[in-house]
């Protein structure tokens, strides 16, 4: 068993994720390992984003609709962020693309079409969908800023 995987899980495969890293100025595709575990009748696939993205842990949220129109997306995505337990580095990629300050990395993972509450599984983020995901991420960041700070101009 891979020593990075949680106890009781089995490494299954690597998937491609969209990473907006603090030390890059462009989004990149990264490979990250997944592992599978069974809890009763539920089969769960988890991504291991600790190294190199989130050594201090992460928080995440699911995006399955367009933030501005609320139209359903063809896939559901999970956006992982730094929880800021320690002050993370300034994210140059977010600053360059969206013109907003952000701390720490952001990683977008795509759920597989076979995802269900009883079977959580992931698939590769395709290169052709990265621009759409970046635009949706920008809309989500705008909404976060509006709710947190009102109309902020940078």
12-51 burial code (b ≥16 CB/10 A, e <16):
eeebbbbbbbbeeeebeebebbbbbbeeeeeeebbbbbee
- pLDDT at position 35 is 87
Q: What distance in Å separates the CA atoms of residue 9 and residue 11, rounded to the nearest whole number?
A: 7
**Pair of tokens at residue 49:** 């984003």
Per-residue pLDDT at 154 exceeds 60: no
User: What is the structure's pLDDT at 8?
Assistant: 64
What DSSP element (H or E) covers 132? helix 130-149
What are 31-56's pLDDT values in tens digits? 999 988 877 777 788 899 998 999 99
Q: Is the pLDDT of residue 80 over 80?
A: yes
Specify the pLDDT at position 3: 43
Residues 93-143 have pLDDT tens digits of 999 999 988 999 999 999 988 766 666 789 999 999 999 999 999 998 888
pLDDT at 54: 96
Query: Any idea where the domains of the chain sit in the sequence?
Result: 10-145
pTM of full prediction above 0.75: yes
Q: What is the pLDDT of residue 38?
A: 78
Integer Cα distance of 29 and 137 in angstroms:
15
> Does position 1 have pLDDT exceeding 60, yes or no?
no
> Average model confidence (pLDDT) for the chain?
87
Rounded to a whole number of angstroms, the distance between the first and last alpha carbons of the chain is: 48
Task: Give Dmax (Cα) for the chain.
Answer: 50
**Omega before 26 cis (within 30°)?**
no
Question: What's the pLDDT at 30?
Answer: 96
Helices (H), the chain: 92-98, 130-149
């Amino acid at each position: 068993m891979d020593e990075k995987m949680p106890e009781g899980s089995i490494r299954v495969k690597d998937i491609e994720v969209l990473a907006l890293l603090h030390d890059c100025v462009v989004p990149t595709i990264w490979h990250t390992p997944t592992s599978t575990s069974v809890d009763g009748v539920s089969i769960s696939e988890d991504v291991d984003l600790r190294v190199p993205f989130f050594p201090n842990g992460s928080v995440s949220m699911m995006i399955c609709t367009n933030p501005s129109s609320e139209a359903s997306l063809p896939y559901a995505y999970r956006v992982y962020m730094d929880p800021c337990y320690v002050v993370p580095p300034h994210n140059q990629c977010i600053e360059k693309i969206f013109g907003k300050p952000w701390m720490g990395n952001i990683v977008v993972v795509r759920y597989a079409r076979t995802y269900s509450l009883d079977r959580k599984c992931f698939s590769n983020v395709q290169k052709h969908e990265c621009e759409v995901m970046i635009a949706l991420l920008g809309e989500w960041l705008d909404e976060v800023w509006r709710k947190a700070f009102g109309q902020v101009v940078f």
